[in-house]
Structure 1
């Protein structure tokens, strides 16, 4: 019963983060800048002389009094700079305006359908300005809403520094490797009470954190192989990590390969641990040998969890690229869930737990099926050889982690 409640809680959290319909929301930020109102306007208005102050936009072309096109410094899937057409309407004073995007060379216009940005400036004195920023959009999932909140907050802080001191520094504290290491350490200590405040519990929390990091490292390696100039990891305490590429996806093969490499990279490690366990037993203590078994079991279980055929999980992403028809996806999904049930039965999980888990994953797949960012033009489809290669690799990775799970569970719970 406790396990069922835990799984239901995880389901609700993931639904809230990825797919909950929050509707149209407005994020607001109000702050004061010790700078003349015209200087602030030049930095925030798309036709202002200093609109490129933060490096996010490299140039703006003016079509008419309220229409123009901006060239961003973000790369599209072909490594060209993304360009966006926009319209802006302002008050007679020129200190209030609203901007929305009418075209995007990378994303489908549906992404911007509900998006609006409003700016209000008020001159408190000749050398001080009150700034009010607001961003409106429709949100599915709390994750993107939180991202937008911190993004607007960061932009406000950097604008204040630029306007008052004339300096700008790209990036922020959160992206630094030292910060991500600190987040990983924080995750270890937050997970520690869950596993028990003992040395064994500390080992389990540290092992799980390391497993998450290795999984995301596999995604980062895939991004670099696929030609991304930049790739980074964001560590989220307790919930895990996110690997980010440097540009949008260009091919269906790229999506499948990048999604599979998280579990694929770890498959080499778990297979090596299983193969070398006998040598470890002969040349080390029982504590180390048992620690290796526990680590292998946790790694296999975590990576198999990511291969579950839920749309926004790695497994769901891979299967959506290999099987483009709804029938093919449905058949493969139910077959794979059946394989998970068989493996769970082999390692001795209770039938009730397997049934509840299967129902929860089925619900999660349905609940997260909507959403996603639609590109401007269709992605390059897979060739027959690419489809075969990805599916064969998926089957191999799945088999390796299942084998390691059965082997390690057999040793631990014999």
Structure 2
């Protein structure tokens, strides 16, 4: 029963994070910098002489008094720098303006439809400036809203250091490996009460955190195989982790392969654990053998949970790339959900729990089916060989985790 409530709570939290209709929201940051208003205007105004102070924009081309083009330092899916045309709405005193992006070489214009960035400067004294930065956009799910909040907060901090000391500090505390280790430990501690505040409960929560890390490591390996030069992992307590690549996706095959490799990488480990268990048991090391079974069970459950046909989960992403029509996607989703429920029945889960879980997964799939970031131009489609390869790999990975789940549950709950 506790697991059922945990599952429902986590799924609702995921819906809130990924797809809840938050609507149009404005994030505002007001702070003071011990620097003249002219200096801060040069750093914040698109046509200012120091607009490239933080390296996010490498150059600005001025088209007219109220329009121009930003050449960013971020790579698009082909490796070129992303360029954005913008319109500028300027007040009479030159200390207030708003920027609206009218074109983007990487993203469809729908991404910028509701986006506005407003800046206001107030000269408190000849050597101190009050800055108000606000960013308005429409959000589905609170994840991107939270990201924007911390992004504008970080920018304000770095701008203050640049204005007062004349130096720019790249990176941040959150990206450091030490911070991610702390986040992983925090995640394990928050999960501890779910498994019971005992030594065994802590080992289970730590094992689940390790399983999350291995899963995201598979995604990172896929990014590198697909030619991305940089990739990193971010731990999110309770919810798990996120693997981020260094550029946008270029092909549908790349999306499917990268999404599948999380569970695919772990499939090798869980299969190895199942194969090695008899050897460990023969060595009369019952404690280690039991730990192997428990770890394999948790790994199989977690990765199967990621492979369910919810469109913003790994499984949904893979199926969406392989099957491009809604009817084929729906048929495959129901077949996969039926397969999962059959496995649940085999390992002895109650029928009411299976029905509730199936209903929750179906609703979550519907709620998360909309949205997503649309690229400027369509991605390169899969050919028949790539589609067959991804589908065969998906079936193999899914089958391995199902086999490990049935095997480990049979040992633990016999």
Task: Provide the TM-score with structure 1 as the length reference.
Answer: 0.99
Question: Post-superposition shift, 1:22?
Answer: 0.9
Partner of 2:289: 289
- Provide the rounded CA distance (Å) in 2 between the counterparts of 1:196 and 1:364: 28
Partner of 1:162: 162
Q: Secondary structure at the match of 2:118?
A: strand
- Residues 353-372 of structure 1: pairs in structure 2 closer than 5 A: 353-372=353-372
Question: Post-superposition shift, 1:283?
Answer: 2.6
- Provide the rounded CA distance (Å) in 2 between the counterparts of 1:372 and 1:204: 34
Question: Post-superposition shift, 1:2?
Answer: 5.1
- Residues 159-238 of structure 1: pairs in structure 2 closer than 5 A: 159-238=159-238
Q: How many residues align?
A: 414
Superposed CA offset, 1:16-71 (max 9, x none): 10111111100000000000000000000000000000000000000000110010
Partner of 2:391: 391
Partner of 1:144: 144
Q: Secondary structure at the match of 1:174?
A: coil
Q: Secondary structure at the match of 1:84?
A: strand
Alpha-carbon RMSD: 0.9
Q: Is the 8 A contact 1:24 1:139 kept in 2?
A: yes
Partner of 1:87: 87
- Provide the rounded CA distance (Å) in 1 between the counterparts of 2:5 and 2:393: 34
Partner of 2:378: 378
Partner of 1:67: 67
Q: Is the 8 A contact 1:323 1:329 kept in 2?
A: yes
Superposed CA offset, 1:360-392 (max 9, x none): 000000001111000000000000000000000
- Provide the rounded CA distance (Å) in 2 between the counterparts of 1:377 and 1:385: 23
- Provide the rounded CA distance (Å) in 1 between the counterparts of 2:175 and 2:144: 17
What residue ranges of structure 2 are gaps of 5+ in the alignment? Answer: none
Partner of 1:12: 12
Q: Is the 8 A contact 1:108 1:375 kept in 2?
A: yes
Partner of 1:31: 31
Q: Secondary structure at the match of 2:64?
A: coil
Q: Note if 1:304 corresponds to 2:290.
A: no
- Provide the rounded CA distance (Å) in 1 between the counterparts of 2:165 and 2:247: 32
- Provide the rounded CA distance (Å) in 2 between the counterparts of 1:8 and 1:206: 21
Partner of 2:263: 263
Question: Post-superposition shift, 1:4?
Answer: 4.6
- Provide the rounded CA distance (Å) in 1 between the counterparts of 2:236 and 2:3: 23
Question: Post-superposition shift, 1:98?
Answer: 0.4
Question: Post-superposition shift, 1:3?
Answer: 4.9
Q: Is the 8 A contact 1:7 1:360 kept in 2?
A: no
Q: Secondary structure at the match of 1:92?
A: coil
Question: Post-superposition shift, 1:282?
Answer: 2.1
Q: Is the 8 A contact 2:90 2:96 kept in 1?
A: yes
- Provide the rounded CA distance (Å) in 2 between the counterparts of 1:28 and 1:302: 38
- Provide the rounded CA distance (Å) in 1 between the counterparts of 2:34 and 2:214: 46
Superposed CA offset, 1:73-124 (max 9, x none): 0110001110000011111110000001000000000000000000000001
Task: Provide the TM-score with structure 2 as the length reference.
Answer: 0.99
- Provide the rounded CA distance (Å) in 1 between the counterparts of 2:83 and 2:284: 59
